[in-house]
Amino acid sequence: MTAAVVTKAPVVAAPAKRARNPYVQGLLTPRGITGLIVVGLVVLLGLAAPLLTSYAPTFQTSNALLQPSGEHPLGTDEIGRDLWSRVLFGIRTDLIVVVSAVPLGALAGCLLALVSVASRWADVLVQRLFDVVLAFPGLILGLTVTAVLGAGTSTVIVVIAVVEAPAFGRMLRGAILSHREREYALAARVGGAGPARLLVRHILPNAADPLVVQIAVSLSIAVIVEGAMSFIGIGVRPPEPSLGSIVSGSVMHLQDHPIYAIGPLVAISAFVLGLNLLAEALNKGVRR
Amino acid sequence: MTGYLLRRLPSALLVLVLASFAIFAILRLIPGDPATTLAGSDPSPDTIAAIRADLGLDRPFLAQYFSWIGDLLSGDPGRSYLIGGQITDLIGDRFGNTLALAIGALVLMLVLGPILGVLCATARGRVPRALLGAVNSVSLTVPVFVTGVLLVLLFAVTWRLLPPGGHQSIVADPVIGLQYLVLPALCLALPGSAVIARYIKDGVLQALGEDYVRTARSLGVSRRRILWRHALPNALPPVLTVLGMQVGALLGGAVVVEALFAWPGLGQLAEQGVARRDYPVVQALLLLLVGVYVLVQLLTDIAYALLDPRVRLG
């Protein structure tokens, strides 16, 4: 008797709870769960890097270009560094870059959106600013910023933030403008809410939905931009490992030592595909 | 149409002017003075001052900007500080190579995209559908330097069908030249093909549900003919916009692909210019790339307006 009551209770409670949170609903689909597992695995490998290898990523052994073995699961690179360790610490570098760059870009974009909905003149200025940033294809913008700041991890973070900001800015601006005209906003205004209260308490919580999806999309773009910049040699500085720079190192040895490229390629692909699955799942959840 | 052009042109020009100003201003923020670099080791202040005067670096910022724009408009972007030579020569040699790469990629996109799209729209059964979807997602999301390395591993290392990198002129020897072009162009074309495939798939599926298709079928027109002659052409117009948007990705991707395949194009020149901080080269190139991008966007909009009266009259 008691058992039946206990099992019944959550069945009744669950749908109401799930309906309230569209993100959870989106993530609990096959696509969302696959994305969570893949991204979770990659992130875990990066976080646990020091525990999973006994070699430092910059430590040079005396054996260059070794085949995979128990000692070196992915072999070694052209100057004898353990590739398993370099891939793990490369993931870590990527995580640091994208986790600091994307929120920075999102924050900048959202602040500019707030400025732009506040006044007509500011709106014209901010929109032209976004136009100019968007007129540069991502990597070309990367080259420009690197010309000024010099190559390095902090430059990559700045580039990603600048590339991502217009997407967040445009999205939030559009959402605020459309929500401002809805009836609930009118009702709040009639009820005596000032512009600041209306924005913060009523409009922003409703306008923020698409931003969550954009964060997942932006994270995957950030991984790609970091990889591309490090790949062409204007990103994370050697000998610090990053996934892009390891792939770049492997290119000279594709003929004689193809196994060199496999580790970083699998890591990047898994990371990017996983993030995209998450973005698609969240998008479905929000739209439902 | 004239009205549409009058509305659309000023905003394109404004973006170009703002971009040129941004490029010029940003590159002036570079720490270090090119005159000091050029003067060699241990120069006297007089030498540096002379070089600064020679390069025009001692003039006010706006004066430098306007003389740069003036020179550009008269067709003279100036000389490179460090790589050496006239910028027009440096760009001229490589422009053709990048153009060949871009055209190759566009052609492949226009062939692969529709084929993949139609296959996705008509696939029967769970397994083929899942496979095609996976192919599409992977080509769409995996970055070009990853697919590039995989293509080299397959076609150049494992099967030894194509060269792993380098460049031969297509004009001098089309057969050899094409062999060198295939892999870099394919690598550059994959993400765009996947985007086009998505649009074609949606367009074809929608068209197949329309009344005119049912009419055609009731008149006894074959399934294949309906697909290729009726449904596909109606799915094509959005592809135009996609192509316009892909040009940006193409220019950015070219930098990576040229580095991977040792292809002597504009991307490589930009990379060298940035690495050596040769800013006349960098600013000319950046403006050229942004100009091409803005021009293509404009042409896309115009083509769209020609195809769809709602756009030009709206």
Minimum distance, in Å, between the CA of residue A137 and any CA atom of chain B = 5
**pLDDT for position A12:** 43
Structure confidence by residue, pLDDT tens digits, B102-131: 999 999 999 999 999 999 988 888 898 888
Q: Is residue A133 part of a domain?
A: yes
| Domain, as residue range, for A215 | 22-53+74-287
Per-residue pLDDT tens digits of chain A, which is 288 residues long: 444 444 444 444 444 444 557 888 888 899 899 999 999 999 999 999 999 988 889 888 888 888 898 888 999 998 999 999 999 999 999 999 999 999 999 999 999 999 998 888 999 899 888 988 887 777 888 888 888 888 889 999 999 999 999 999 999 999 999 888 889 888 988 888 888 888 888 888 888 888 888 999 999 999 999 999 999 888 888 889 999 999 999 998 988 898 999 999 999 999 999 999 999 999 888 876
Higher pLDDT, B308 or B292: B292
Partner residue facing A231 (CB), from B23, B249, B259: B259
| Residue A167 within any structural domain of the chain | yes
Residue A186 is assigned to a structural domain of this protein: yes
- Size of the A and B interface in Cβ pairs below 8 Å: 129
Distance of residue A2 Cα from the nearest chain B Cα, in angstroms? 44
Count of C-beta atoms within a 10 Å radius of residue A14 = 10
Give the DSSP H or E segment for B143.
Answer: none
* Closest chain A residue to B259, measured at CA: A232
For the stretch B250-261, pLDDT in tens is 888 888 999 999
The two structure tokens encoding residue A275: 């993030």
Q: Inform me whether the C-beta atom of residue A131 falls under 8 Å from chain B C-beta atoms.
A: yes
B18 → closest Cβ in A132, A254, A255:
A132
pLDDT at res. B31? 66
3-class secondary-structure state, position A154: helix
Do B251 and A140 make contact, defined as CB atoms within 8 angstroms? yes
Task: Decide if B282 and A144 are in contact by the 8 Å CB cutoff.
Answer: yes
Residue A175 near residue A189, CB atoms below 8 Å: no
Whole-number pLDDT of residue B299: 86
Question: Are A273 and B141 in contact (CB < 8 Å)?
Answer: yes
- Per residue in B224-242, pLDDT (tens digit) is 888 888 888 888 878 877 8
Asked whether the beta carbons of residue B157 and residue A143 sit closer than 8 angstroms, the reply is no
How do residues B202-231 score in pLDDT, each as one tens digit? 999 998 888 888 898 899 888 888 888 888
Residue A71: per-residue pLDDT: 86
- ipTM of the shown complex: 0.83
Are B149 and A261 a contacting pair at CB < 8 A? yes
| Cβ separation B145–A144 shorter than 8 A | no
Select the residue from A128, A148, A149, A275 to test the B interface by mutation, using most B Cβ atoms within 10 A.
A148
Whether B123 and chain A come into contact, CB under 8 Å, resolves to no
The answer to whether A232 contacts B256, with C-beta atoms less than 8 Å apart, is: yes
Q: Is A140's CB within 8 Å of B255's CB?
A: yes
Q: Work out the widest C-alpha separation in chain B, in whole angstroms.
A: 89
Q: Mean pLDDT, to the nearest integer, of B142-158?
A: 92
What's the pLDDT score for residue A7? 45
- Among A144, A224, A276, the residue with its CB nearest the CB of B23 is A144
pLDDT of residue A8: 45
Query: pLDDT tens digits for B157-185?
Result: 989 898 988 888 888 888 898 999 999 99
Cα B251 from Cα A136, distance rounded (Å): 10
CB contact under 8 A, A135 and B286: no
A247–B contact, CB cutoff 8 A: yes
User: What's the pTM value of the predicted model, to 2 decimals?
Assistant: 0.86
Q: Which residue of B has its CA nearest to A264?
A: B146
Question: Among B141, B144, B153, whose Cβ lies nearest the Cβ of A220?
Answer: B141
Name the strand (E) or helix (H) holding B258. helix B237-260
Residue A12 belongs to some domain of the structure:
no
Residue A2 lies in a domain: no
Q: What is the pLDDT of residue B25?
A: 85
User: Can you read off the two tokens belonging to residue A91?
Assistant: 């993931």
B152 vs A: CB within 8 A: yes
- Which of A31, A124, A129, A132 to mutate to test binding with chain B, by most B CBs within 10 Å of its CB? A132
Taken in order of first residue, the domains within chain B and their CATH numbers are 91-276 (1.10.3720.10)
Q: Which residue of B15, B142, B144 is in closest CB contact with A135?
A: B15
In a domain, A68, yes or no: no
Give the number of domains in chain A. Answer: 1
How far apart are the C-alpha atoms of B124 and A270, rounded to whole Å? 28
Tokens, residue A106: 């999102």
Query: Is A151 part of any domain?
Result: yes
Q: Is the Cβ pair B153, A132 closer than 8 Å? A: no
Nearest CA-CA distance, residue B238 and chain A, Å: 21
Q: Is B293 on the interface with A (CB under 8 A)?
A: yes
CA-nearest of B75, B69, B74 to B92 is: B75
Distance from CA of B184 to the nearest CA of A (A): 14
> CATH number, domain at A277?
1.10.3720.10
The shortest CB-CB distance from A265 to any of B31, B146, B251 is to B146
Q: What pLDDT is stored for residue A17 in this prediction?
A: 47
Chain A contact present for B153, CB below 8 A:
yes
Q: What is the residue-averaged pLDDT of chain B?
A: 85
Confirm or reject contact between A228 and chain B (CB < 8 A): yes
- pLDDT beyond 60 at B274: yes
**Chain B nearest C-alpha distance from A11 (Å):** 32
Q: Which of B227, B246, B222 is nearest to B115 (CA)?
A: B227
pLDDT in tens, B66-103: 888 888 888 888 788 777 788 888 888 788 899 899 99
Would you state the pLDDT for residue B32? 64
Query: Which is more confident, B279 or B100?
Result: B100
In a domain, A119, yes or no: yes
In this structure, are residues A144 and A198 in contact, taking their beta carbons and an 8 Å threshold?
no
What sign for the dihedral angle of Cα A268, A270, A273, A277? negative
Q: For chain A, give the DSSP string.
A: -HHHHHHHHHHHHHHHHHHH-HHHHHHTSHHHHHHHHHHHHHHHHHHTHHHH-SS-TT-B-S--SPPP-SSSTT-B-TTSBBHHHHHHHHHHHHHHHHHHHHHHHHHHHHHHHHHHHH-HHHHHHHHHHHHHHHHS-HHHHHHHHHHHH-SSHHHHHHHHHHHHHHHHHHHHHHHHHHHHTSHHHHHHHHTT--HHHIIIIIIHHHHTHHHHHHHHHHHHHHHHHHHHHHHTTSSSPTTS--HHHHHHHHHTTTTT-THHHHHHHHHHHHHHHHHHHHHHHHHHHHH-
